[in-house]
Each structure stands twice: as structure tokens, then as C-alpha cells.
Structure 1
């Protein structure tokens, strides 16, 4: 986002701003699986979807965001944004010199009912919403932004081509429970070789990496409204309780809390 209104945002969107305002609001429709490549803005961005589920990749991490969560992306941080289901991307862009927030890393922000309404309020054109009313709403929006402590889920692909084949097969079917020895017979490597390749290529053991992958696969399903029981089965857990325990360890909160509207 630049001062002249140009940005590397999705085509066909709308931008709403006012002279002297601190916030520009962008609204863009996204299709399932539609991604916008890595880019950066000169303004801070709050990426949020009132409808659908967003995913944002930045700083080596991936965030899956239901309508109850948004992601603060500091100015200059390169990122890619996409949708795991049809979504309306509603982004707020904050001019750094007028913004009191100084977060240097992306931060997950809960979207309360009041914040949701204020974002919609600011999305009105400047003829509908006067300058004074817009400035007041901008101030309240900033007051409502506070980070929540949730871990991101990351499952990078290893560089070793044999381990990468295993990782890609598991991405296609996270419930596949073959051991490294069994995978080794498929890709032509010993279990020990594959184990080393996962550690050196991802920073995680094979078991840790597979857990992260399963959680990553589960998040869009949960966000779309699938039950914990059905998601647990689809991503390879023998029981809902085992899945909930893994989700809590990996993300920091149980799935019911992550996807529930904030109080």
C-alpha cells in the first residue's frame, strides 16, 4: 500500500480512505485456493475475513484465520495471503507515522463484535462517513487491537528429495500412518537416512513434523465448521481426545477456544 493508493492487493477490490485519515480500508473477494504472491506494504496491515477463512504466510510461518481472528502485519514484512474457502478479505492499512502500535513481528489479534462493526463502519465511503466520525472510529479501532498468544503451525518441506517425496505424500493424505521404515521402502532410503533428512531440512523430527502437518491440515476444516471428531479422523488421529491434546500442545489452546468468538 503506497500513498498514491497503489498496492499489490487482489484485483477487483475496493479501497476506502479519507484525506488526513490514519486508516485505509480495502475489501477484496477471494476464491478458494486463490493466493496473492509475496509482497510488502509501506503501511501496517490488519488482514481479516468477515466471511470465509484466510491464510497468511510470513516470516517462515503460516496463520489460518477464521472470522474471529485477524493478523497484524508490520510495514515492510513480506507476506502472501490466500483463502482456504471463499472469503472476503477486508484489510486495514495504517500509516506508521500515525499509528501508536510498534509491533515488529506479525501478531494475531482477536476480532470482537465491536471491532467487527467498526471495521464495517470505516469501510463506508468518505461521503457517507464524515471526517470527524472516521477519526473517532479509527482511534477506537486502535484501542481494541491487542495480541493473543497462539502458536503458529509450520510444516516446511525438507530439501532432501527422498524426504520431500514423503512430505508431499503426507500433505496429500495427512492420515497416512506409515513409519519411516515403510516410507523408506517406497522412496529408496533407510529409516535412519530419512530421519536425519527431516531433522536437517525442517528442524523437527519426523514425528514432530507430521504432527505439525496434521494440525495445519485440520485448521481449515475446523474453520469451515467440521466437527472435531470428523477432523480428527481425517487427519490421522485415533480419537478426538488425542487430536484435541495435540492441538493444545501445538497451538497453545484447544480448537474450541481458537475458533470460538472472543468474549
Structure 2
């Protein structure tokens, strides 16, 4: 993401959600493909969820891919930017500090169960200041319960800061199928193979091969979520055969590409 900030119009639109007296409020907005929010932060924690479309979210620590069926927990005051991959129907929650205690301490991709999905949509259908004595208070309590018990998903990629690593990362993000090894990248990055290998370990906690594999798998899931055929996705992320791609996908996500694909006729709210 660029260094631009959320527009003043966007800030004004979100301010009521950031100051609402309720423990949780829902925010609904549809975004055009390619829309970018710019880097910004909120005084309240968020659960960013899209009922349709894929969100690419950056923080200072990581790059996140968030397809339908998952959500990104963003703690309060975490600087982040969102880019919409295709048409995105964002249905997000803002949580007051007491309610946010139900979520992780770091930005984390969590699984959004069918129940949690419907609860999010219900909260998003309520006014910013909903009836504190009405049944919606029970829905909000159930949302917090579901957030506490939600599993996490391996859809983050550690960010890089060293300029030499950034050149390598940019090339791979632009083309996950890039077959070049670390030696080839070293020539472009302006560093020795040993230096790049050390930087990858030091900054990301991963080897170059592990980082690239994680990138390929997160990109694969995003493409599967958009409805692309597994055979095409395999080629796009650098696998020579569909069986090899399927095995790597299953090892990473515990399911097959076909199972992860969106169901035909699934309604989006």
C-alpha cells in the first residue's frame, strides 16, 4: 500500500462507528474492484469481513489475504490499508475496548463460520445506536462468543523492510509463478545469496522457499475464492501439475481446492 491516508470524507463517514456508545456496531459498504483505502488506523478494534470478494490488507508486520469465509481481526490503533480484489461487499464490525477483549492481541485471520457470518450481517443491519434493551444485545453477545472460539487461518505473509528484500518480494508478489531461485534474485536485489537468505530468516522468520510457498498458497486461495479453475490457479502460482498443487493446498489449508471454491448460486448480502 502507498503512504496515503484515509480521505477526510472517509474519516467523517466512519467517525460515528468509532464513537458509538454500544459495545459493537456494524459497518456495511460495497467497494469497486481495485479500490484502496490508503493507510489508516481506528481507535477501536475491527473485524473486517467481506460477504463477497477478496480483501488484501497490509499492516506494518504482514500482508493478509482475506477471502469470504474468513475475517481479519484488527486490534485498535493498528495501522493498515485495504485493497479490494474484485467487487467487495464489506460487512465489518467496530468493537469497543471491553468487547474487543474477546479477540486476539495481534492482527489475525480467523475463520468465519456460517453462524458468525449471519450474526455479522444482522449487526450490520442495525443502526449505529441500537436498542440496548432489544434482542440485538443477545446477537452481539453471541458474536463475541463466536469470535473467541474461532479458529485461525494461515493467510498472512510476513512483511519485509530491507530494500533488497523488498525488491525480491515485489517481484514475487507481481508474479507468484516466478521460477527464479534465490541466486537469480540476488543479482537483481544487489546482495549475495547468503545475505538474502539471512535477511529472509531475520525479517520474516522463514526461508526464501517457505516465504514463496506461503505467498503462492495465499494467492491460490484468493483466486479459488474468486471462482478460478484449480487447473488455471495451479499454473498461475507456479505449479507444474494439478496434483502437486492440490497436495500443497491440502497440506496448507486442510482441504482441497475444489472444496474451497465458492458454491454456485451462493447468495451474497
TM-score range normalised by the length of the shorter chain: 0.7 to 0.9
- TM-score normalised by L of structure 2: 0.74
Other structure's SS at 1:86 match: strand
Counterpart check, 1:147 vs 2:154: no
Q: Tell me, what secondary structure is at the counterpart of 1:53?
A: strand
1:19-46 Cα offsets, whole Å, 9 max, x none, are 7532121122223232223333222211
**Residue 25 to residue 176, structure 1, CA distance change in 2 (3 Å):** same
Q: Work out which of the two has the higher radius of gyration on C-alpha atoms and give 1 or 2.
A: 1
Query: Structure 2 unaligned runs (5+)?
Result: 1-6, 264-269
Q: Against the structure 1 CA distance between its residues 198 and 62, is the aligned structure 2 distance closer, same or farther, given a 3 Å change threshold?
A: closer
Superposed CA offset, 1:30-65 (max 9, x none)? 232322233332222111111211222336123222
Are residue 81 (structure 1) and residue 85 (structure 2) matched? no
Q: For residues 128 and 184 of structure 2, what CA distance do their matches in structure 1 show?
A: 65
* Cα distance in 2 between the residues matched to 1:63 and 1:259: 19
* Residue 267 of structure 2: aligned partner: none
Q: CA deviation at 1:194?
A: 5.0
Show the counterpart of 2:162. Answer: 159
Residue 63 of structure 2 is matched in structure 1 by: 62
Show the counterpart of 1:32.
33
Q: 1:60 to 1:113 in 2, by over 3 A?
A: same
Q: Indicate which of 235, 240, 243 corresponds to 2:242.
A: 240
What is the alpha-carbon distance in structure 1 between the residues aligned to residue 161 and residue 204 of structure 2? Answer: 6
Aligned residue-pair number: 254
List runs of 5+ in structure 1 lacking aligned partners: 1-6
RMSD (Å) for aligned C-alpha atoms:
3.7
Q: 2:224, 2:260 within 8 Å by CA — same for their partners in 1?
A: no
Determine if contact 1:108/1:147 at 8 Å carries over to the other structure. Answer: no
